[in-house]
Amino acid sequence: MQIAAFERHGTEAIGVVVSDGIVDLSPRLPEAATIIEVITRWSEYHSLFASAARGPADFALADVRLLAPVPRPSKILAIGLNYADHVRETGLPMPKAQIWFSKHGNGINAPFGSIEKPPVSDALDYEAELVAIIGKRCRNVPKARAKEVIFGYCVGNDVSVRDWQLRSPQWMIGKSFDSHAPIGPWITTADQFQPEGQSITASVNGELRQRSTLDQLIFDCTDQIAELSQAMTLEPGDLIFTGTPGGVGMGFQPPRYLAVGDVVRVEIEGLGAIENHVVPGSGATMIAW
């Protein structure tokens, strides 16, 4: 099933997507329930959501604003250089081990939210990615059991500020600007999606830039969970950005970075699409009291 966070008339809610509509489950959930709580207590909530998925929609999707399905993950972990064609376009050697960095929660953005172009850089780039959502608290998970801890999947764009990323061997700051982790359009539960063979694409202003399939990952989702969980406890709602194929702006000669007014669309077969406009970011000082 497809679980969405949405807003209607200023009220945020959780629902199940049915065809081109959404069933609002907030009246049947505890007050202030979050999607991470739903994921954590899925054995209790599953029947409620499954029943709703068979029912009529309360609202048309066109009449709601979709929100980031996991607005406050405890961790956003992302793997670099995980498609062979992307490795080749960077000119770097094929990785022998997984290369990990963190994005930070301030980057989380709605599936159709605006991406800010920071005033400090003209090297704004896109990266189409499959995002896996952890469903169970876990540690030291063997590859053979890794699928047990995946709650579901969504579409992501690992937006990157390349000059800030590459001026340091630690990529974190160039990957963590505000608004630079749009995800969605909803969570498709793992029982409804098999990544192998599904297409992944990114286009800019309608021009296809990235195109691959999810079986081209060098290290797949189970490899990634097995690796990460040896180092840290993974929690429900943690996000794993699983890597991007070739065709990023940095890979062109000369590079083709994003500009204000551009529209980036990332789509994964079986999961849907997210689409984000690039807008100018503010350079104004903000100090809140």
Give the least confident one: 14-18, 31-35, 68-72, 104-108: 31-35
What share of the chain has pLDDT > 70, as a percent? 100
- Give residue 236's Cα distance to chain centre: 15
Q: Is 54 in the same domain as 83? A: no
Residue 32, pLDDT score: 81
Q: What is the CATH number of the domain that holds 151?
A: 3.90.850.10
Instruction: State whether 52 and 83 are in the same domain.
Output: no
- 70, two tokens: 């996991």
Give me the helices (H) in 75-185, please.
Answer: 84-90, 162-166
Contact between 72 and 239 (Cβ < 8 Å) = no
pLDDT band at 31 (very low <50, low <70, confident <90, very high): confident
Domain boundary (17, 35, 66) is at 66
Q: How far is CA 89 from CA 79, 80, 244, 271, 283, in A?
A: 16, 13, 12, 27, 32
Query: What is the count of structural domains for the chain?
Result: 2
Give start and end residues of each alpha helix (H) in the chain. Answer: 35-40, 42-52, 84-90, 162-166, 221-231
Q: What is the pLDDT of residue 289?
A: 83
Q: What is the pLDDT of residue 155?
A: 98
User: Is the Cα torsion angle 32, 139, 271, 200 positive or negative in sign?
Assistant: positive
Same domain, 84 and 140: yes
The residue segments making up the domain with residue 186 are 76-280
Give the Å distances, CA to CA, from 236 to 4, 174, 199, 224.
Answer: 16, 26, 26, 16
Task: Give yes or no for a contact between 69 and 108, defined as CB atoms under 8 angstroms apart.
Answer: no
- 135, two tokens: 């469903």
Domain presence at residue 287? no
Instruction: Give a yes or no: residue 285 inside a domain.
Output: no
Tell me if 168 sits within 8 A of 113, measured CB to CB: no
Q: Coil, strand or helix: which one is 199?
A: strand
Whether 138 and 240 share a structural domain:
yes
Summarize the confidence of residues 253-261 as an average pLDDT. 97
**Whether residues 46 and 150 fall in one domain:** no
- What is the pLDDT of the chain when averaged over all its residues? 97
Residue-wise pLDDT tens digits, 94-148: 999 999 999 999 999 999 999 999 999 999 999 999 999 999 999 999 999 999 9
Residue type, 193: F
Model confidence over 196-247: pLDDT tens digits?
999 999 999 999 999 999 999 999 999 999 999 999 999 999 999 999 999 9
**DSSP reduced 3-state for 22:** strand
Reported as a single tens digit per residue, the pLDDT across 151-201 is: 999 999 999 999 999 999 999 999 999 999 999 999 999 999 999 999 999
pLDDT tens digits for 54-80? 989 999 999 999 999 999 999 999 999
> In Å, how far from its chain's centre is CA 163?
22
Q: Which of 24, 47, 66 is the last residue of a domain?
A: 66
